[in-house]
A = this chain, B = another copy of it.
Amino acid sequence: MKIICSKDILSKAVSTVLKAIPGRTTMPILECILINAEGNKIKLTANDTELGIETTIEGTITQPGRIAIEAKIFSEIIRRLPDNDIIITTDENSNMTIECEKAVFNIAGYDGYDFQALPSFEHKSYISLSQMTLKDIIRQTIFSISENENNRLMSGELLEIKNGILRLVSLDGHRISIRRVELKDNYDDAKVIIPGKTLSEIGKILTGGVDDEVLIYFGTNHVLFSFEDTLVVSRLIDGEYFKIDNMLNNDYSTKLSVNKRDFLNCIDRSTLLVKESDKKPLIFTVEDSNLQLSMKSSIGSLCEDLEVSKEGNDIKIGFNPRFLLDALRVIDDENVDIYMMNPKAPCFIKDKEESYIYLILPVNFASV
């Protein structure tokens, strides 16, 4: 194989596929990037068997071929070469030579035919979405997947298409995050559970704006994201997702509207008093148009008043401040509405259109 391409293009492509390189494995080939220059295009692929990424780059193929090369060292070499054309040559023993200006690197690779290709699958349906929207809704829900790998379902997110509405849902047992988007066209209904890692890596790769499109193809065991010159294939999580609609309701006895930034800053300050070993709740005391936030821990105490506009009853309720922060940090609105029923029922932070819904369970503070 002999190919020539610019450092910029190669470097960008390598950093894209690098997202599918696992941290540590017992199979060296999984830590490789496949460079395939056998057709009339140069393709870079990484595939950890759960998540695979392939991207096509521009360049000159002087001699076709394929090689698998250890991803981390290859990416570091490319990154530190001068901004100029890079010539990559391989020999029959899978040794790679990388030349740029006067620098010549030699590193050993693996036979490209030992590299596991991306799975191909028949898609049952698909949707089209703006890249910006997909990036946004991932960011606005990904934080509440569960880190506990024992519950596979909670480690992924539900992506549901129903009557032209897309919902992306995550939950971890203490809270639920839902983002809802109206699709521009009519598509078949679909319902899949996508691993959190897949979504978070896609969130990082997507650079496009509102007008740049991403296509999502749904198969039985796989989902495929296609945008620009890149394909991302991921295995789906098996099983039936939680019936979240049963957990939602529109009843409330207290509704607060509050300036998001002030609210967030105040909650952020309270986290200074939280110790890993001694988690104290942040207590909301609502009286008329005053929301008092207070916390007392072994470190000290904080008390702060916020002006709110209130509908309904006064209430006293406790929360884990971290859960409130996570939700508030991804909400782009200037003001937020908080709906509460009683100190033991979940609270909802949501907008009027329910384009976002954050359900957060309160914490018992009776003993405080």
> Could you list which residues of chain A lie within 8 angstroms of chain B, going by C-beta atoms?
73, 76-77, 80-82, 102-108, 265-266, 268-269, 272, 299-306
Contact = CB atoms under 8 A, between A and B. Distances in A.
Given A80-B269, A265-B82, A269-B81, A304 B73 contact: no
A304 B103 CA distance: 4
Given A102-B304, A102-B305, A265-B82, A107 B299 contact: yes
Contact of A265 (B76, B80, B305): B80
A272 B266 CA distance: 46
A102 B304 CA distance: 5
The oligomer's copy count stands at: 2
B80 A272 contact: yes
A311 to B, nearest CB: 22
A77 B108 contact: no
User: 8 closest A-B pairs (Cβ-Cβ)?
Assistant: A107-B300, A103-B304, A106-B301, A102-B305, A80-B269, A104-B303, A76-B272, A105-B302
Nearest to A70: B299
Given A103-B269, A266-B103, A73 B300 contact: yes
A110 to B, nearest CB: 14
A20 B183 CA distance: 57
A272 B304 contact: no
21 contacts: A73-B272, A73-B299, A73-B300, A76-B272, A77-B269, A80-B265, A80-B268, A80-B269, A80-B272, A82-B265, A102-B304, A103-B266, A103-B304, A104-B304, A105-B300, A105-B301, A105-B302, A106-B300, A106-B301, A106-B302, A107-B300
Contact of A102 (B82, B104, B107, B306): B306
